[in-house]
Amino acid sequence: MPLALYLLALAVFAMGTSEFMLAGLLPAIASDLDVAVGTAGTLTSAFAIGMVVGAPLMAGLARTWPARSSLLGFVLVFAAAHVLGATTANFPVLFATRVVAALANAGFLAVALTTAARLVPADSKGRALAVLLSGTTAATIAGVPAGSVLGTTLGWRATFWAVAVLCLPAALGILKGVPAGPDRADEPHRPALRAELTRLRSRRLALVMLLSALVNAATFASFTFLAPVVTGTAGLSDLWISVVLVLFGLGSFVGITVAGRVSDHRPDLVVLVGGPLLLLGWPALAVLAHRPAALLVLVFVQGALSFALGSTLITRVLYEAAGAPTMAGSYATAAFNTGAAVGPFVAAASLGTTFGDLGPLWVSGLLVAVALLVAFPFRSVVAAGGRGAEADG
């Protein structure tokens, strides 16, 4: 894999840390800025919505720019938003910085996904995506726990400063590693924006985007609310929350790595094996969560299965959107983050039911079940390895 992919993954690590770090910082932010914790929680929603809206919007704006310039610009805007967030004492300003950061993150991912696919042979998009998304899994393994510790010891603003600083070597890496010259998207035969947008009418593309959103919604429904399961249902101390999050992150890294090696040519293997196991895993976790040993093992397994299946479906989005070379990454980003926004929202509603803290785990199982039921009649589309379809089937 080209060095440039790993440099892009460094930026994804910084951005992934920012996206997930607020889970451990909301009480401190609420206290410091004199707002309710629920109000502070809107910072998470603002980021997720900004990612969904920003992916196609930013990709459309940047489609005529050189990839290196676009990536560098998005990283610098992202860093600047965190500097402003770290220095403001005004909640509306902080809210605005999260929206701006999300737009920059969405634009970066949309361009990075497309760039990653161009840096490797046509049949290696899955492996390239695995390298790129390893930045996200590294964020859950190291970035988020480290941010939580930093926020606890030095205050929540220190975490914002740390994310801004992380962007600097990422920016340097982009300058050094991403080719400066025009890429294939800049050739004269590049499709017009309207032509690329018409790819969204493709039933095949719409299907894999829907499946990706459902699986990722299941993932983030439970990931977001693991803390009360750890301390409430399992009866462990607060220190174990970081352990569980790290285990989930390690599992996701293993899942992405393994799936990245087979999803280009045998996506059917990942879906047919991983899908049913993931479906069984969420209810099993809900039933056995009161046993700490089972909880720790199943969190790791579910992290691996969730990201194996989720990354495979994101790869399918890139293949099916092959006719939209500059917008394909934005479609993949939008699908992923639609799940990240919808999953926690649905899971939060389940907390007030008789299922209590275990409600999100049952919601995740339901979402995976829906995904598999939708996928079954169209399994040939999901299992189409190697190349994206140029026409609906």
For residue 231, give both structure tokens. Answer: 């301390």
Q: How far is Cα 104 from Cα 109, in angstroms, rounded to an integer? A: 9
Q: Three-class SS of residue 269?
A: helix
Asked whether the beta carbons of 143 and 13 are under 8 A apart, the reply is yes
Q: What is the DSSP secondary structure assignment for residue 2, as one 8-state letter? A: -
As separate numbers, helices (DSSP H) first and strands (DSSP E) second, the chain gives 18, 0
Q: How far is Cα 174 from Cα 151, in angstroms, rounded to an integer? A: 28
Q: Which amino acid is at 372?
A: L
Asked whether the beta carbons of 283 and 361 are under 8 A apart, the reply is yes
Q: Which of 350, 364, 230, 223 is nearest to 290 (CA)?
A: 230
283 CB burial (10 A radius; 0-12, 13-18, 19+): middle
Q: Three-class SS of residue 225?
A: coil
Q: How far is Cα 329 from Cα 107, in angstroms, rounded to an integer? A: 9
Q: What angle do CA 184, 186, 190 make, to 5 degrees?
A: 85
CA distance readout (Å), 179 to 68, 107, 129, 183, 196:
7, 18, 18, 8, 24
For residue 28, give both structure tokens. Answer: 């401190």
Asked whether the beta carbons of 136 and 340 are under 8 A apart, the reply is no
Give the pLDDT confidence score for residue 313 in this predicted structure. Answer: 87
Residue stretches of the chain with pLDDT short of 70: 1-2, 23-24, 37-38, 122-126, 140, 180-191, 193-197, 199-200, 263-264, 323-326, 380-393
For 173-185, how does the pLDDT look when each residue is reduced to its tens digit (9 = 90+)?
888 777 766 554 4
Give the pLDDT confidence score for residue 189 in this predicted structure. Answer: 54
Asked whether the beta carbons of 39 and 202 are under 8 A apart, the reply is no
Residue whose structure tokens are 């095949």? 204
Q: How far is Cα 256 from Cα 304, in angstroms, rounded to an integer? A: 7
The pair phi, psi for residue 363, each rounded to 5°, is -60, -40
Q: What is the DSSP secondary structure assignment for residue 357, as one 8-state letter? A: G
Q: How far is Cα 190 from Cα 49, in angstroms, rounded to an integer? A: 29
Give the pLDDT confidence score for residue 393 in this predicted structure. Answer: 45
Q: Which amino acid is at 318?
A: L
Q: Which amino acid is at 291?
A: R
Task: Please provide the DSSP assignment of 65-133 as one string.
Answer: S-HHHHHHHHHHHHHHHHHHHHH---HHHHHHHHHHHHHHHHHHHHHHHHHHHHSS-TT-HHHHHHHHH
CA atoms within 13 A on the CB side of 120: 22
Q: Which of 356, 360, 331 is nearest to 345 (CA)?
A: 360
For residue 348, give both structure tokens. Answer: 């939060």
Give the pLDDT confidence score for residue 392 in this predicted structure. Answer: 52
Q: How far apart are the first and last CA of the chain?
A: 32
Q: Which amino acid is at 183?
A: D
Number of CB atoms found within 10 A of residue 361's CB: 29
In 119-185, which ranges are continuous DSSP H helix? 125-138, 144-154, 156-177
Give the pLDDT confidence score for residue 390 in this predicted structure. Answer: 47
